Amino acid sequence: MSFLDAILLGILQGATEFLPVSSSGHLVLAQHLLGDFEQSGVLFDVLLHVGSMVAVFLYFWRDLTGLISSLWRRDEAAVQQRFMVWLLIAGSVPTAIIGLLFKDFFIGLFERPAIVCVMLLVTGSLLWFAERLRKQEQSRKEMSFMDAIVVGTVQGCAIIPGISRAGSTIATLLLRGVDGETAARFSFLLALPAVFGAALLSLKDLDAVATDAVLPYIAGTIAALITGLFCIHLLMGIIKRRRLHWFAFYCWFVGGLGLVYFL
């Protein structure tokens, strides 16, 4: 893998992690099109996800500091923030269970680009129906434990390459009546424990990384971080303007074109 390839893949990851078009699916397709691409396990993919998750830390810094400090604060706002912490924990449990039980199966799908294309078609359909069935006047800012468990289960299934984690989790919350901004914020915050866990599981691949691959790995991670910051801001605006279904057309196009190419 060249230095340029790493940066391009980092930019691709940073954009597609937050725009609801499946970052893992795009990485699989791009890596198959790059004939000389090699990595140790899925370490490079995980590092790109870590870079984009650092962007979440930076963008939602106030939210995160409020959630952490609520554990010892006693003001009225802290009560709601502590409830959000419990929601994030509840949502992380099904994600962790699905990830641990089906990790090998999901990793195997990364070698099957045709499956990725089919899942992109599924993602597009989910985005379309979520936006079309969304009722802004009835949306709510409060979330329940059932909302968290359902969206955590969906996030676990989104490990399948081609299923957008951001797209599927946001769409699920919209379908459950949660307003768009609340859905997006919860989706991004819920991703942090999942990516952190995946990074820990991939530490075993560090020893297999060649010395000359270290700099490309770092460059790709930084590229994902910078691109991610921009795309988080972009998506928040798109959700407020109720234009999420735009990405359905893109997913259908890429998925359909990919099926023609790989089959």
State residue 215's pLDDT score.
83
Say what percent of the chain tops pLDDT 90: 39
Q: Are 25 and 162 in contact (CB under 8 A)?
A: yes
State residue 214's pLDDT score.
75
Residue 187 pLDDT > 80, yes or no? yes
Report H helices in 76-213.
Answer: 76-109, 113-133, 145-157, 165-175, 180-201
At 90, the pLDDT band (50, 70, 90 cuts) reads very high
The span from the CA of 201 to the CA of 205, in Å, is 9
State residue 3's pLDDT score.
80
73 three-class SS? coil
Residue 248 pLDDT > 90, yes or no? yes
At 108, the pLDDT band (50, 70, 90 cuts) reads confident
Partners of 32 in the β-ladder? none
The CB-side HSE value for 5 (13 A sphere, CA atoms) comes to: 16
At 1, the pLDDT band (50, 70, 90 cuts) reads low
E strands, 91-216, in order: none
Place of tokens 């009546």: 177
Among 19-23, 31-35, 111-115, 202-206, which is the least confidently predicted range? 202-206
Residue 85 pLDDT > 90, yes or no? yes
State residue 207's pLDDT score.
61
State residue 202's pLDDT score.
58
The CB-side HSE value for 15 (13 A sphere, CA atoms) comes to: 9
Using CA atoms of 223, 224, 225, 231 in order, give the dihedral in degrees to the nearest 10: 110
